[in-house]
Amino acid sequence: MPVEKVTEKWKSSVNVVTIGNGNSAIKVGGETTLPFLYDEGKMPHRPVIALEVYDMVPEGWSDTLCDALQDVINDPVAWAKKAQDEWGADLICLRLLKPSVVDTPPKESAQLAKAVKDAVNIPMILWSMAEDEINNKLYSVCSQALAGERCLIGTTKQDNYKILAATCIADGHSVIAESPLDINICKQVNILLSDMGLPSDRIVIYPNNGVLGYGFEYAYSIMERTRIATLGGDRMMAMPIIAVVGSECQRAKEVKATSKEFPQWGPEIERSIAWEAATAVGYLQAGADILTMCHPEAIKLVKNYIDEMMPNI
């Protein structure tokens, strides 16, 4: 007996968010289906990979990753340039650690952000890792320095969103809306940002995520449920999703442990790349539109995967 092909009919789509300007602008979102199910709908835009660049070397990164990044690890501008020219990054994700770790003034971060942006043609994400109080001073200065560049800046949270949202509305940027692995708060932040007057096509959801072996499936199910709600017509869940893969992988024991400690696990270089690539691919299947990654070899693998999954784009 022939088996009837069961396809789901969806009535809505993910918002399209544009990051960057002119020819180098990148569009994400627009899906009318769960990932890669072309019988049910379309994925008009490829998921994209942002390479994580830091204003200082994060503590606890594995030797494997530091080796891969070589000489540029201490020079964010060169790092970004190499990400674009050699490692195939679609965007740069500049992550700011210094303001919280060594208390640098906002102006210094803004200068760096501008220098990084000027060094590359690809669009930029600016992501501060500091506490709210520092961020609120930092955002406006950095946002102004990048005014008109249509960056993606983050993050806003349920209890701290007004300053960044207002700044981004004024300077033409989009906003990352963060929630603590909680789909109800995820929706709430989107509503709060929309109520501020930020157009919904300038919001990207960051639901928070772990990596393979560290709560991966929890974030996966939140992303998937977000997408099902989007496609079912919930406009306050219809924003593209960003997942942080690279730096989160650097926290995994399976990435950091040396092969001397665990000879049966195999060489750490393979583990390091495989962990990042596997996590990334998993989140693509969950519905992520933007991945931030660190290891150039892992990026290559994931880009190949996207090519294979999206033969027509």
Residue whose CB is less far from other proteins, 14 or 73: 14
Q: What residues pair up with 176 in beta bridges, in sequence order?
A: 154, 204
Q: What residues pair up with 95 in beta bridges, in sequence order?
A: 54, 127
> Crossing angle, helix 183-195 and helix 216-231, to 10 degrees?
50
Residue whose CB is less far from other proteins, 236 or 257: 236
Question: Could you give the CA distance from residue 105 to residue 108 in angstroms, rounded to a whole number?
Answer: 6
Q: Least distance from C-beta 176 to other proteins, angstroms?
A: 18
Q: Least distance from C-beta 35 to other proteins, angstroms?
A: 19
Q: How many CB atoms lie within 10 A of CB 23?
A: 6
Q: Is there a cis peptide before residue 32, judged by omega within 30 degrees of 0?
A: no
* Phi, psi (rounded to 5 degrees) for 97: -105, -35
Question: Could you give the CA distance from residue 291 to residue 51 in angstroms, rounded to a whole number?
Answer: 8
Q: Least distance from C-beta 40 to other proteins, angstroms?
A: 14
Residue whose CB is less far from other proteins, 40 or 234: 234
Cβ 50 vs Cβ 83: under 8 Å: no
Q: Least distance from C-beta 80 to other proteins, angstroms?
A: 36
Q: Least distance from C-beta 197 to other proteins, angstroms?
A: 12
Q: Least distance from C-beta 4 to other proteins, angstroms?
A: 12
Residue whose CB is less far from other proteins, 187 or 271: 187
Cβ 127 vs Cβ 155: under 8 Å: yes
Q: Least distance from C-beta 243 to other proteins, angstroms?
A: 19
Cβ 12 vs Cβ 236: under 8 Å: no
Q: Which residues bind other proteins (CB under 8 A)?
A: 9, 183-188, 191-192, 194-195, 225, 229, 233-237
Residue whose CB is less far from other proteins, 188 or 259: 188
Residue whose CB is less far from other proteins, 229 or 252: 229
Cβ 299 vs Cβ 293: under 8 Å: yes
Q: How many CB atoms lie within 10 A of CB 159?
A: 10
**Exposed e or buried b per residue across 281-300, where buried means at least 16 C-beta atoms within 10 angstroms of its C-beta:** bbbbebbbbbbbbbbbbbbe
Residue whose CB is less far from other proteins, 23 or 184: 184
